[in-house]
Amino acid sequence: MNRRGITSAILAITLLAVGVWGAYQYQLKKDFEIALNNEYQRLLHDTKAHVSNVQVAMSKALLSDSLDQNVLLLSQIMQQATLAQDKLGQLPVSHSDISKTEKYLTQVSDYSYSLIKGHLDGNGMDNKQRQAMTKLQDYSQYLTNELSAIQDKIMSGQMTIGRVAQKERESLRDTNKDMLNTSLVKFEETMTQYPELIYDGPFSDQIINMKPKGLASKKVSKEEAKEIAENFLGNKRNLTLTMFEEGDQLDDIAKIPSHTFSVFTANDNKKPAGYISVSKQGGHIVWMNNIRSVSGISLSIKQGQDRALKFLKEKGFNSMEPNYSLRYDGIGVFNFAYKENDITIYSDLIKVKVALDNGEIVGFEAAAYLHAHHDREIPEPQISQDEARSKVRLDFNIDSIRLAIIPKGSKEVLCYEFKGKYKENDFIVYINALNGKEEQILQIIKDENGTLTF
């Protein structure tokens, strides 16, 4: 074969190889899009199912005249509203466009807990509480219908939810308006009409509207906030930050006005790798979210917790202790409470999310900490540990006793915290250290997915 023939053969082989490689990459991209779309469909389906369960349980609670039955139903409402909010938060939509929906789900859970406490004291729902619950039930039905409509469009091919995350030709906000948020934004507008909930709970409107106590006084500019965010993230991956939007709506629940940035990697300047929010007052990191899937699990919950604690110390939070943990979709979610003079302060909470494939920090939320953290004058206990122990059942097998501060509405209460077992189940009992009153009882649920308190 002459030189021209050899060159032609090499060129043909090269073109064939490029064609095969291109076809492979195209198919790989299509497979990824299908997998991503299926994952988002699952999240949407789960969100709708949880909201539907909230609506059904509310209907039963309004009909029931039994305090015992209502405690069970209100507990179901709490659980399902919390799960709905969690799944909603994983959908590829702008947080600002669903902030009122998230607030609604949070308050449904918190209001139900407030009613449970009243039921346990022997008090049923009064007319005002029943009217509020009826209104909340109406909104849960409306949200269920909106989610069903979105799901129907996806199933019929009118909407591809995976396109929301691609953001190839449109801004995230425009994509949200055109795609998934089309219906949710309508719900957001309707949500402004639901009644203000006044009750004794950490997410009641009078508590949410309280001024945060943990913010420094200095006002920070966009440029200063960007530098703070870059330092927090670290610049090892050559990250680029661009202003996303003002944070007054983004941080609706926390009520912490912020500068919020989209985070891009050097490899992709079109699709954000995450978002980060810096408070306008004081320049504190309010929250950070890294958008990525977890391919497998190689770390245990304990290893993930250790990584989260190390991260907090690196960021200057040196007095935090683990509170509870949860694992889902390959991510470990860890709550940490502030500790001062050997007293655990549960009001000052920080949440850290860790990818359990490689230990990367993929989430950080400090809104609760920034709301509550301040220099406290902690009172001295007015009753002894033995006196507090006498307020707890004798057959409650106690493992540990310590002092802790727990939130109670707009106030905080110094308590003796008794951890132990009752009939083979783990519980925490809080006895007021000033007057001996039983303030709260929590059950600890432990399984392969982590530790939760209810």
Within this chain, do residues 181 and 108 fall inside the same structural domain, yes or no? Answer: yes
**What is the four-CA torsion angle of 240, 244, 248, 250, rounded to 10 degrees?**
-90
Contact between 129 and 117 under an 8 Å Cβ cutoff? The reply is: no
Tell me the three state secondary structure of residue 295. Answer: coil
- What is the mean pLDDT of the segment spanning 4-11? 60
Single out the residue of 326, 272, 275, 273 nearest to residue 304, CA to CA. Answer: 326
Distance of alpha carbon 240 from the chain centroid: 25
Decide if 377 is inside a domain. Answer: no
pLDDT of 106 strictly over 90: no
Within this chain, do residues 42 and 188 fall inside the same structural domain, yes or no? Answer: yes
Within this chain, do residues 197 and 87 fall inside the same structural domain, yes or no? Answer: yes
- 140 to 57, 92, 167, 276: CA distances (angstroms): 11, 21, 30, 30
pLDDT of 193 strictly over 70: no
Within this chain, do residues 139 and 30 fall inside the same structural domain, yes or no? Answer: yes
- Which domain-ending residue is among 159, 174, 208? 208
- pLDDT, tens digit (0-9, with 9 covering 90-100), for 282-299: 999 999 988 787 888 899
Within this chain, do residues 332 and 423 fall inside the same structural domain, yes or no? Answer: no
272 compared with 197, residue with greater pLDDT: 272
Which segment, 112-121, 189-198, 208-217, is predicted with the most confidence on average? 112-121
Decide if 3 is inside a domain. Answer: no
DSSP 108-167: HHHHHHHHHHHHHTT----HHHHHHHHHHHHHHHHHHHHHHHHHHHHHTTS--THHHHH-
Within this chain, do residues 249 and 200 fall inside the same structural domain, yes or no? Answer: no
The radius of gyration computed from the CA coordinates of the chain, to the nearest angstrom, equals 25
Q: Domains in the chain: how many in total?
A: 3
Distance, CA of 333 to CA of 440 (rounded, Å): 24
Could you count the other beta carbons within 10 Å of the beta carbon of residue 425? 10
Contact between 253 and 103 under an 8 Å Cβ cutoff? The reply is: yes
CATH number for the domain spanning 248: value is 3.30.310
Sign of dihedral through CA atoms 334, 339, 342, 346?
A: negative
β-pairing verdict for 361-365 and 285-290:
antiparallel
Within this chain, do residues 228 and 163 fall inside the same structural domain, yes or no? Answer: no
- pLDDT, tens digit (0-9, with 9 covering 90-100), for 308-342: 999 999 999 999 999 888 887 788 889 899 999 99
Within this chain, do residues 173 and 269 fall inside the same structural domain, yes or no? Answer: no
Distance, CA of 4 to CA of 9 (rounded, Å): 9
Report the pLDDT value the prediction gives residue 37, as an integer from 0 to 100: 63
Report the pLDDT value the prediction gives residue 22, as an integer from 0 to 100: 58
Please calculate the CA angle 119-120-122 and round it to the nearest 5 degrees. 65
Decide if 349 is inside a domain. Answer: yes
Within this chain, do residues 157 and 251 fall inside the same structural domain, yes or no? Answer: no
Report the pLDDT value the prediction gives residue 68, as an integer from 0 to 100: 81
**Range with lowest mean pLDDT among 22-26, 39-43, 70-74, 430-434:** 22-26
Residue whose pair of structure tokens reads 């009750």 in the numeric block: 199
Within this chain, do residues 203 and 277 fall inside the same structural domain, yes or no? Answer: no
Report the pLDDT value the prediction gives residue 96, as an integer from 0 to 100: 57
Give per-residue burial for 244-267: e unless 16+ CB within 10 Å, then b: bbebebbbbbbebbbbbbbbbeee
Contact between 414 and 405 under an 8 Å Cβ cutoff? The reply is: yes
Burial-class residue 124 by CB neighbours within 10 Å (0-12, 13-18, 19+): middle
Decide if 183 is inside a domain. Answer: yes
Contact between 442 and 427 under an 8 Å Cβ cutoff? The reply is: yes
Report the pLDDT value the prediction gives residue 107, as an integer from 0 to 100: 81
pLDDT of 417 strictly over 80: yes
- Which domain-ending residue is among 342, 372, 402? 372
Distance, CA of 445 to CA of 361 (rounded, Å): 25
State the residue range of the domain holding 317: 222-372
Tell me the three state secondary structure of residue 37. Answer: helix
Could you count the other beta carbons within 10 Å of the beta carbon of residue 172? 20
pLDDT of 71 strictly over 80: yes
For residue 180, name the pLDDT band (cuts at 50, 70, 90): very low
For residue 174, name the pLDDT band (cuts at 50, 70, 90): very low
Within this chain, do residues 169 and 122 fall inside the same structural domain, yes or no? Answer: yes
Within this chain, do residues 145 and 287 fall inside the same structural domain, yes or no? Answer: no
Which segment, 30-34, 107-111, 374-378, is predicted with the most confidence on average? 374-378
Distance, CA of 250 to CA of 96 (rounded, Å): 4
Single out the residue of 293, 316, 300 nearest to residue 449, CA to CA. Answer: 300
Decide if 152 is inside a domain. Answer: yes
Give the HSE-up count for residue 366: Cα atoms under 13 Å, Cβ half-sphere. 23
Report the pLDDT value the prediction gives residue 120, as an integer from 0 to 100: 80
Decide if 30 is inside a domain. Answer: yes
- The strand pairing partners of 275, in sequence order, are 262, 289
Report the pLDDT value the prediction gives residue 240, as an integer from 0 to 100: 83
